[in-house]
A = this chain, B = another copy of it.
Amino acid sequence: MKARVTVTLKTGVLDPQGKAIEGALGGLGFSGVLGARQGKIIDLDLAETDRAKAEADIRAMCEKLLANTVIENYSVEIKG
């Protein structure tokens, strides 16, 4: 079963990488960029075939390893 985990910084958390992207886009002549925030995705391939069990497993992975829940939000999308 395939799934995608999306990890984004919480609102209010400073994002220097996003700021760098915003600045670089401005420097390249893209003037209408009001903001940029960077996050990450992790595409997982799991042996588990039960959808609910897979989602529960992935949430546990996020809490333990994939996301820092103090400063990051995560969402899980099961692709089947």
Query: Which A positions have Cβ atoms within 8 angstroms of B?
Result: 6, 8, 18, 21, 24-25, 28, 30-48, 57, 60-61, 64-66
Contacts and interface: CB of A to CB of B under 8 A. Distances in A.
A47 B33 CA distance: 6
Given A25-B65, A30-B61, A39 B45 contact: no
Nearest to A37: B43
A56 to B, nearest CB: 11
Nearest to A46: B32
B25 A47 contact: no
Contacts of A44: 33, 35-36
A62 to B, nearest CB: 11
A58 to B, nearest CB: 9
B64 A28 contact: yes
A39 B37 contact: no
